[in-house]
Structure 1
Amino acid sequence: MSTVRDMLVELTGMPEFAEGIGDDADLSASGIDSGDLVRLVLLIEQRTGAEVTAEDMDGLSTIADYEKFVAERGSATPADGA
């Protein structure tokens, strides 16, 4: 399972995010609300060390978008050591 998918399952408690939602599905249309997106961004920042700006968030709408962002901007070592 992908890093972002793991985080989504953890945040929402919805196992559908493990494999039931396509990589290119819009997260907002998949049951993720704005609060969940903020929590996802905070978790990404905490675990990968990548800073996610408001401008970045404007371009992130799918699991694939978030995965690409993490791959390009995240560090090899999580910020919290987890």
Structure 2
Amino acid sequence: MSTVRRMLVEVTGLQEFADTVEDGADLAASGIDSGDMVRLVLMIEQHTGAEVTVADLEGLITIADYERFVAGHGGAAGGDGAADAVDAGSGAGSGAGGNGGRA
């Protein structure tokens, strides 16, 4: 299972959801609520160490889009880093404050 799919399981609490959504499906239209989308983005930021900007968000629609972002920003798209991201980031320190504590 890919890193983004592992993150989806973590934020939604539904293994079935991550397994059944197609790579090209629009995540927002497939039932993920806005809170889960925010948590997914925060986990990706923690995992990659890269800020997800508003411009980035405009291009992050599908699981495949999120996978490309993770792979392009130093995260292994198929790796096991989701658990590390969950443990490392409860959202504290991310965002405009930029405390520099991210790897």
What TM-score do the two structures reach when normalised by structure 1?
0.85
CA-atom RMSD in angstroms: 1.9
**Structure 1: any 5+ residue segments left out of the alignment?**
77-81
Give aligned pairs, total.
79
- State the Cα distance separating 1:75 from its structure 2 match: 4.5
* Identical aligned residues as a percent: 70
Instruction: From the CA coordinates, give the structure whose radius of gyration is larger.
Output: 2
Q: Which residue of 1 aligns with 2:34?
A: 34
Preserved contact between residue 5 and residue 17 of structure 1 (Cα < 8 Å): no
Question: Deviations 1:41-80 (Å, cap 9, x if unpaired)?
Answer: 100111221210011001101000000010011346xxxx
Opposite residue 26 of structure 2, the aligned amino acid is D
Asked whether 1:10 is paired with 2:10, we answer yes
**Structure 2: any 5+ residue segments left out of the alignment?**
77-83, 85-103
Opposite residue 24 of structure 2, the aligned amino acid is D
Q: Which structure 1 residue ranges, 4+ long, deviate > 6 Å from structure 2?
A: none
In structure 1, how many angstroms separate the alpha carbons of the residues matched to 2:21 and 2:49?
26
Q: Which residue of 2 aligns with 1:79?
A: none
What TM-score do the two structures reach when normalised by structure 2?
0.69
